Amino acid sequence: MARLFNPPPVEGRPLVPEERPHSIDPELVASMIMPGGNFSQAFPGFEYRPQQVEMLQAVVDAFNNGSHVMVEAGTGTGKSMGYLIPAAFWAYENDRRVVISTNTINLQDQLIHKDIPELQKVLPFEIRAAVRKGRSNYLCTRLFQQMRHSGPRDADEMAVFARILQWLPKTKTGDVAELTLRTPGEKLVWSRLNAENSCTSDLCAGENCPLHVARRQSEVAHLLVVNHSLLLSNIAAENLVLPEFVDVVIDEAHHLESAVTDGLSFRADKRFLETVLDEVVKPQSGLLGDMMTRIQASVPPGMVEKMAGVVEKMRQEANLGLVRLNEFFEALDYFLQEFVNRRSPFADQIRLTSATRAQPGFDEVALSWDNLSKHLYAIGQGFEKLAKGLQELSEQYDVDEGDDLMLALKNNGRLLEETRANLDAIILEPDNDTIYWVEFFRERISLHAAPLHVGELVEKNIFHAMETVVMTSATMRTANPASDGEPTFDYIKQRLHGYDVDEVAVGSPFDYKNSTLLYLATDIPEPNQPNYQRMLEHAIIDVARTLNGRTMVLFTSYGQLSQTAKAIEGPLVDAGIVTLAQSSGSSRQMLLNEFKDLGSNTVLLGTRSFWEGVDVPGVALQALIIAKIPFDVPSDPIFAARSETFDNAFFEYAIPEAVLRFRQGFGRLIRRQSDEGVVAILDKRVLTKRYGQLFLDALPACTVLRQRTSRLGELTWRWLHRDKK
């Protein structure tokens, strides 16, 4: 395996933090981005932005004082450099590691491949940076070696095996991001080859293990880039995932609560459990087959028979378990059909509350689960027995990779027991602080659990545990009725338990008054009224024809997006304009690339994932249409459960969440100083409902126009062709 994966040696020594950190000079740090500073000398197109300096100074203060701060930095501030420069100076000066956490892979890639390399060019000293991802992103070389030894079992394994065989000698990281997995089957193969559950890098491939290399790079890095999920995994694992750190910058911080929720959530479906049981039913392959092959080569036959007996008993339990598994999901399916028919024929998610469990038919679900649970427990105990037996054999005989196999067996047993315990809580023994629900999509049922509250966890493991905490985003404040509509940090501080955190709001350098027309449609019906959809479609066609495309429309549901796409596609084709719809099967990134590449003659329709993280500068995007205020779906299990914890859930929870998303959506239009265009709000509720002004107050000061929907195309053209003197 060393011949296949041979990464370059990790350079640098592990960091040894100063016991008493030295302050960094605010003026020296700020001089980097001042006129005539290092950045303007190295990058001729670099723009001085006072707002970036203001943010940078707030971050410097947080490092120097060991304090916690929330910084909202508007679009165009240069937020990344606003925290990267102080973090680099602080880490270098004090030999300390600064962890930078993001929510999205896109921002993570931007930091590690663009922003940090640019920073390294202008710093007066050298810093080391690394990216660390979750275990499932790295190839486990031991598992791949097993596949080489036993051979691929099907077409998907053959395809992935061949691709890895070509890729592995070239890669420096062993990161799946470099490998194209085309089908669900290929992704399933990767799940059997990655380091998620069975990697024991301290004992197997060592220096030639991708995860081990990533760990070494993390240990020597001044700046360590991770995502929120890994940051939270580190907390859940009692800080054993990442090297020690006490300084953290959390970008895209408005997503931290949802990231914590996702990181602590549980999901299981029939296919997942079938895969687990199938691996045991066929003990001649996989982990059990590998173990038996190795002990047969070095252990007396009598002792081999003892281990084989445990494997055979596990196989019998797994065969019975597969029968009980089918019975369980049949009972669950029958219950859900009856429940849905009684309650809501359109639901695809059902919360499992005490009231749900009291419904007729649920006792059959509970009984069938109890029958299945016994077999899962027995198999988990079997893994424990095998691990203990292998440990004893390895002490007496030279079992090839015995320690490695023993830990893998323990991991399998632990994961199976965790799965069983989670399902037991979902069906039989619910916890009051956990949300439970069932999803069904295309006849596939999955069971879920998620934490009700995460604020205490963030408070304990971030605010109480870290010396320096910088949380930043372009959208952290929400308009507050108690403060005359003035945006505040109150909502996000309450959700994350950051009650004593300092706060800084840095405005955007963009001149929205002269660049952005905020068009408020006065005559369009409210979204649940007749003729609303027809007027929305006509408005999109009108604007798209006027601008020859160059339009993005943001929706809150795939259903409305799909309906709109069908209605506008024909008229726009007649005008030579292409409609790109997110529900058409293309990935988000593919649609964005096509929208940018075509340059014009294109209308892009997107739902939730397009409300943020979309960057289309220049004339490719000149009109942004928001179809509806982006409220959460009331029936969403997590949203519904958390709503029950508020006295006035609509104003205290639903509106702040929607305002943050609304601000993100608005920010898709103006991405550069030279950009200009129209943001059209085709949801009359911003004008007619008493909460509507809260959404408008949360936006920067634009030129506002209240007009009929039918004039949107005409007035958009006038705005873009006005006299700008």
Question: pLDDT grade, residue 1 (50/70/90)?
Answer: very low
- Range of lowest pLDDT (75-79, 457-461, 613-617): 613-617
Secondary structure (DSSP) of 472-535? EES---EE-GGGTT-EESHHHHHHHT-TT-EEEEE--SS-HHHHEEEEEESSSPPTTSTTHHHH
Q: Give the C-alpha separation, 263 to 234, whole Å.
A: 10
Token output for 626: 């928001």
Is pLDDT at 2 greater than 50 in this prediction?
Answer: no
Q: How confident is the model at residue 342 (pLDDT cuts 50, 70, 90)?
A: low
Contact present, 136 and 191 (Cβ < 8 Å): yes
Name the token pair of 121.
């060019």
Q: Count CB atoms within 10 A of the CB of residue 342.
A: 10
Tell me the two tokens of residue 179: 């490998």
- Tens of pLDDT, residue by residue over 513-532, are 999 999 999 999 999 999 99
Q: Which of 286-290, 297-301, 569-573 has the lowest mean pLDDT?
A: 286-290
Please compute the mean of the pLDDT values over residues 1-14 and round it to a whole number: 76
Six token digits for residue 679? 């943001």
- 417 closest CA partner among 367, 448, 376, 371: 376
Per-residue model confidence as pLDDT tens digits over 386-437: 999 998 888 888 888 777 788 888 988 998 999 999 999 999 999 999 999 9
Taken in order 83, 84, 86, 91, the sign of the CA dihedral is positive
Contact predicate 526/685, CB 8 Å: yes
119 sits in the region (left: phi over 0; alpha: psi -120 to 50; else beta) called alpha
The confidence score (pLDDT) of residue 198 equals 60
* Identity of the amino acid at 648: N
Q: How many helices (H) and strands (E) does the chain have?
A: 30, 20
Dihedral (C-alpha) 580, 584, 590, 593: value to the nearest 10 degrees?
0
**Dihedral of alpha carbons 166, 170, 174, 179, sign:** negative
Q: Which DSSP state fits 653? A: I
d(CA 258, CA 134): 18
State the alpha helices, DSSP H only, in 517-580: 532-547, 558-574
Query: C-alpha angle 535/537/541, rounded to 5°?
Result: 115
Output the pLDDT for position 19.
80
Structure-token pair, residue 201: 């890098």
Domains of the chain: residue spans and CATH: 24-128+221-260+454-509 (3.40.50.300), 136-208 (no CATH), 266-451 (no CATH), 512-720 (3.40.50.300)
The DSSP bridge partners found for residue 138 are 175
* pLDDT score recorded for residue 129: 97
- For 243, the 3-state DSSP assignment is coil
Average pLDDT of every residue of the chain? 91
**pLDDT category of residue 482 using cuts at 50, 70 and 90:** low
Give the model's confidence band at 205: pLDDT under 50 very low, under 70 low, under 90 confident, else very high.
Answer: low
Contacts 24+ apart (CB under 8 A), 684-693: 684/521, 684/522, 684/524, 684/525, 684/526, 685/526, 685/527, 685/629, 686/520, 686/629, 687/520, 687/522, 688/526, 691/650, 691/651, 691/655, 693/479, 693/485
Q: Write out the DSSP string of 69-125.
A: EEEEE-TTS-HHHHHHHHHHHHHHHHT--EEEEESSHHHHHHIIIIIHHHHHHH-SS
Residue 45 is predicted with a pLDDT of 85
What percent of the chain has pLDDT above 90?
68
Token match 């005359």: residue?
Answer: 484
Contacts of 478 (CB under 8 A, 6+ apart): 487, 488, 490, 491, 492, 655, 656, 659, 660, 694, 698
Whether residue 283 has pLDDT greater than 90: no
pLDDT in tens, 23-81: 999 999 999 999 999 999 999 889 899 999 999 999 999 999 999 999 999 999 999 99
SS3 446: strand
Residue 643, pLDDT above cutoff 90: yes
Angle at 501 between CA 497 and CA 507, to 5 degrees: 115
Give residue 371's Cα distance to chain centre: 36
pLDDT at 199 over 70: no
Q: Mean pLDDT: which of 262-271, 347-356, 403-412, 511-520 is highest?
A: 511-520
More confident residue, 695 or 485: 695
The reported pLDDT for the residue numbered 553 is 98
- What's the Rg (C-alpha) of the chain? 28
Distance CA 135, CA 198 (A): 10
Contact 401, 204 (CB under 8 A): yes
> What confidence score (pLDDT) does residue 204 get?
59
Given this model, what pLDDT does residue 291 score?
Answer: 87
43 neighbors 36 (Cβ within 8 angstroms):
no
**∠ CA(506), CA(511), CA(512), 5° rounding?**
95
pLDDT number for residue 206: 60
pLDDT of 344 > 60? The answer is no
Q: Which amino acid is at 246?
A: V
What's the average model confidence in pLDDT over 109-116? 94
| DSSP secondary structure of 130-189 | EE---GGGBB-HHHHHHHHHH---SHHHHHHHHHHHHHTTT-SS-BGGGS---SHHHHHH
What is the token pair recorded at 562?
A: 């799909």
Decide: 49 and 77 in contact? Cβ < 8 Å: yes
